[in-house]
Structure 1
């Protein structure tokens, strides 16, 4: 009997779990989450990895899933080594798994994404994250000066999880100077990478020749238009022929332009939303005029909420996403909110787009695939209430049956 299905992606969070499945030949099927149409229905938070076991039993959150998969290992000796033999060892393993998977992980990948330009780059935020990473590196260094492995005397889940995080740093944002600065950390990392279990996860790992650095995008230079009298004489006949030829149809500047003019006037709605009370004036007008044959409304959620830290940084991430949607804003309206508190928050919201296909509206932003999209049906009371709440910002967001207060947000208009 199958032990379940693991939903994965390219995120490093999947690596430790996949390594255990492969090493101990567990009967678990791995499926790329992006190929599953109803993934966000099964897992509303969109977090990866995710798992469905016998009789529909579900797990999200990598640490919980890592421990569940470890419990499926048939060899008790191997299981004890990975999770710890005594209660003290088990506590240390869980402690160091958590250390590697929370603030440290968020800081490292926050900098990798921003330096690569996949999220907005802010030097102040970048420096603050580096300070966090250096602090954690010092803690690991001190521990590993006197211990072969991070939690116990054998390779455990803590080493597997920790190496997942630190290989990401040393292959990108940590250069040779960091290798020299933290010799005990590097010695431990080399040991874990070279182990039998480590080779299932880190076989392609290489230290960066130099630290990854942010390169501001180059501004394109506009060519100066030539004056009429500067046109070469030899091109005069070509110009005359071109003038005589029938004009080619004007190509649309945006794919959604092909849908034509809408009976629902978006600019009028945006003025209503900006100038009138949302609940009393704007929303009643909206539902009186909204045309579902011309527009659709989508629930948009950030896929990696578990990597978010400070709420203001999450809000900055939303702002950067909206800035990169500029080419589509004449065909869109909506809000994304940040709910929760520092080091425990998420991003969700409702965005209306022209037409019935979300891709042309969103794919103008390079980071659009960092979000999940689920179509909402305003004829359903729950969906309509969600839209109203996201656009009014006056009620908590319900996440897994729990009310989470809105901390911040942005309006796309």
Structure 2
């Protein structure tokens, strides 16, 4: 096909590119990538199937909303509209501000909105209260940044709608679809005013034909409670299996085999780790989960370790540091039956670090961690919960609700991962 093609669908990141094609009158066909007549060509052009996606003249291809937005706008011959959306060619400060807000909306805002609403509405995404609460905490900070700007100014940059407004308003939409109810809107009138102004503009108004604000946020699913009930009922069936005295004799030969994990040799502890993990996931951390932990914790069976990344001076963006933690935890999957903990990212872009506290079966950290190839990229220090300061550090690492003091400086926790 000689005509340029924009592949897009219902996803938020597709809205602005689609609106730009229409409003700027560009000679670009807007195509549903999963329509029967298009899906084969789309798969050939874009094997990763990321949306939106653009195929232009002479086989030129683009993915990522920001790149596509800028390409489409610069394809227009209307210099006035180009200057409005991207900033005047000579005004590099305005151009940078627009790009900054566009990036902020396309990454931080969307990412944490998804972390908040997806577990509420997507069946295959488990609802873990602790994780959703942590995402809400960061989302509130992001919202405050928008609120502070829009209380003083009509738009994010300058006196007209720019690409920054279009991208960020589209990103906010999922919040208004699922979690920003009437009470939230009363508390953020400046954001609501701005959002209504931008969505009514010619640029993206077609995307909001059926839009309605919600009154009440979507409630957490009830599946978690049902799962807990089922797990509590499981032990009732155990006596039948225990009544067969022949079974231990049949299984005895397997006892001489080498355990799959060295920590299996320590036997069955009295502290039930799975029960703690459920308590942590489903209850408020400070008032309920942590008191339960200290009441049931057995220091003879488990030790707790401070874990610090060795190369904090090499870290750059905070989300990349958090991805590094996620990769480390994935590589610890062979030990998840024997460990629990959190590593957090503190600080800001180009000045951040990784630290945390991890509960380990036994008194040696090595058998738990050396299953991960990169385990030696971290320092490990055994903590003493009878020491009030070290116990407070553990609580803070597992609650994420207080800033850290690092080398005498106060550092906010910006992200983190749970190992469970």
TM-score (norm 2): 0.52
Which residue is 1:11 aligned to? 11
User: Does structure 2 retain, via aligned residues, the 8 Å contact 1:173–1:212?
Assistant: yes
Cα deviation, residue 147, structure 1: 0.8
Pick one of 94, 103, 106 that aligns with 2:108.
Answer: 103
Residue aligned with 1:196, SS: coil
Q: Give the unaligned 5+ runs of structure 1.
A: 223-273, 276-306, 320-340, 343-392, 396-407, 409-413
User: Deviations 1:125-157 (Å, cap 9, x if unpaired)?
Assistant: 111111111111111111011111011210011
Cα distance change of structure 1 residues 211 and 67 upon mapping to structure 2, 3 Å threshold: same
Q: Give the unaligned 5+ runs of structure 2.
A: 231-259, 262-318, 332-344, 347-371, 375-416
User: Deviations 1:71-123 (Å, cap 9, x if unpaired)?
Assistant: 11221101111111221111111010001000210110222211113412211
State yes or no: 1:147 paired with 2:150.
Answer: no
Cα distance change of structure 1 residues 313 and 27 upon mapping to structure 2, 3 Å threshold: farther
Which residue is 1:69 aligned to? 72
User: Deviations 1:320-343 (Å, cap 9, x if unpaired)?
Assistant: xxxxxxxxxxxxxxxxxxxxx99x
Q: Distance in 2 between matches of 1:309 and 1:125?
A: 17
Cα deviation, residue 310, structure 1: 4.1
Which residue is 2:378 aligned to? none
**What is the aligned-residue RMSD (CA, Å)?**
3.7
State yes or no: 1:135 paired with 2:141.
Answer: yes
Cα distance change of structure 1 residues 127 and 63 upon mapping to structure 2, 3 Å threshold: same
Cα deviation, residue 59, structure 1: 0.5
Pick one of 117, 125, 148 that aligns with 1:119.
Answer: 125
Residue aligned with 2:40, SS: coil
State yes or no: 1:163 paired with 2:169.
Answer: yes
After superposition, residues 1-400 of structure 1 pair within 5 angstroms as 2-35=2-35, 36-37=39-40, 39-85=42-88, 86-116=91-121, 117-217=123-223, 219=226, 310-311=322-323
Q: Distance in 2 between matches of 1:137 and 1:109?
A: 14
User: Does structure 2 retain, via aligned residues, the 8 Å contact 1:103–1:309?
Assistant: no
Residue aligned with 2:51, SS: coil
Q: Distance in 2 between matches of 1:60 and 1:151?
A: 25
Cα distance change of structure 1 residues 180 and 104 upon mapping to structure 2, 3 Å threshold: same
User: Deviations 1:277-328 (Å, cap 9, x if unpaired)?
Assistant: xxxxxxxxxxxxxxxxxxxxxxxxxxxxxx9994489779999xxxxxxxxx
User: Does structure 2 retain, via aligned residues, the 8 Å contact 1:167–1:205?
Assistant: no
Cα distance change of structure 1 residues 318 and 198 upon mapping to structure 2, 3 Å threshold: farther
Cα deviation, residue 180, structure 1: 1.3
User: Does structure 2 retain, via aligned residues, the 8 Å contact 1:105–1:165?
Assistant: yes
Q: Distance in 2 between matches of 1:82 and 1:44?
A: 31
User: Deviations 1:337-369 (Å, cap 9, x if unpaired)?
Assistant: xxxx99xxxxxxxxxxxxxxxxxxxxxxxxxxx
Cα deviation, residue 42, structure 1: 2.8
User: Does structure 2 retain, via aligned residues, the 8 Å contact 1:83–1:90?
Assistant: yes
Cα deviation, residue 216, structure 1: 2.0
Relative contact order higher in (CA < 8 Å, ≥ 6 apart): 1
Residue aligned with 2:157, SS: coil
User: Does structure 2 retain, via aligned residues, the 8 Å contact 1:106–1:309?
Assistant: no
Q: Distance in 2 between matches of 1:314 and 1:42?
A: 31
User: Does structure 2 retain, via aligned residues, the 8 Å contact 1:193–1:199?
Assistant: yes
User: Deviations 1:43-70 (Å, cap 9, x if unpaired)?
Assistant: 2433111111111111111111111111
